Amino acid sequence: MECNINHAGKWDKEDVYYCINHHKKASINGKKLDECICNKKDYEKCLTINKEDIFSIKFVYPNLLTNLESILEVNGQKINILYIGRSMLEKRDFGGLLLSKLNNINLEVEVCPYCNNIHSDDGKFAYKPHNPHLCAYCGKLFHVNHPNIGNEIATIFNINDLKLDNRCLEIKSELKIEYDILKNSLLVNNICCNKIRINNEEYYLKDYLNEKLYNEF
Ligand SMILES: [Zn+2]
Ligand SMILES: [Zn+2]
Ligand SMILES: [Zn+2]
C-alpha cells in the first residue's frame, strides 16, 4: 500500500504531515517526507475480515522480561493489522485494550471530528485520562468535553471486565502474557493471577504492565 500523506496541523507548535494509510508521521522538524516512517513490511501481514467471521482473537507478549514484542493472532493466523469494515486495528490498540481493562477504565466512544473514525488509546494513554486526543487515523489533535480514554476494539466486540485470581506467580526466565479478547481471559505463563514476583520483588500485574508498556503508543 502506498503512502497517503496529508498536513495534520501542528503538534507542539510544529507542522506535522501524516500518512493516513499507515497511521504514521511523515515529517521531520515540520518538513514533509516522501514516505511515512512506517515499516512497509508490517503492512503485508494484515487481515481483512467481517466481524461475524472472527471466532478467536489472541494478543500475546511472548516474553516481557527480554523484549516488548507482541503477537496478534486472529482465527489462528498471525497478523499485524486487522481491518474490519472501516476500522484499522493495530497491535498497539490491543495492548491498549489490555491496559485499559486491567485498570478498570470505563472506555468511552470518542469520534474524531475531522475524519469520523473512533479513537483508541494505547500505552500510558490507555490508563491516564487525557484531553486532547491524537487521532491515529488522520493525525489531528481533537478536544473532548472532559479527559477520558477510548478504544475502538471495545465498540466492535463485547469486552467484559477481566477477572484475575488473587494469587502471586513466581517469574523466573519467562514472562508470557496471553490475552484472549473474546474469552476475556488473561494468563501469565498459562496461569491466572493478579500478582507476580520477580527477583524476590512482588508486583501487582497491573502496575508492572503499566510501567512496562508505558511508551507503547
Ligand atoms: Zn505511509
Ligand atoms: Zn486519546
Ligand atoms: Zn481523525
Assess whether pLDDT exceeds 90 at residue 1: no
Note residues around ion ligand 1 (Cβ under 5 angstroms). Answer: 3, 19, 22, 36
At residue 189, the pLDDT reads: 98
Q: Nearest bound ligand to CA 133?
A: 2
> Nearest ligand, CA of residue 24?
1
pLDDT at 118 over 90: yes
pLDDT of residue 207: 98
**Whether the Cβ atoms of residue 36 and residue 24 lie closer than 8 Å to each other:** yes
- Ligand with minimal distance to 22 CA: 1
Whole-prediction pTM value? 0.95
Residue 111's Cβ-count burial label (10 Å; 0-12, 13-18, 19+) is middle
User: What's the gap in Å between 147 CA and the centre of ligand 2?
Assistant: 9
Mean residue pLDDT of the chain comes to 96
* Per-domain boundaries in the chain: 1-39, 45-212
Looking at residues 115-124, what average pLDDT do you find? 98
Judged by its nearest atom, the ligand closest to the C-alpha of residue 19 is: 1
pLDDT reported for residue 12: 86
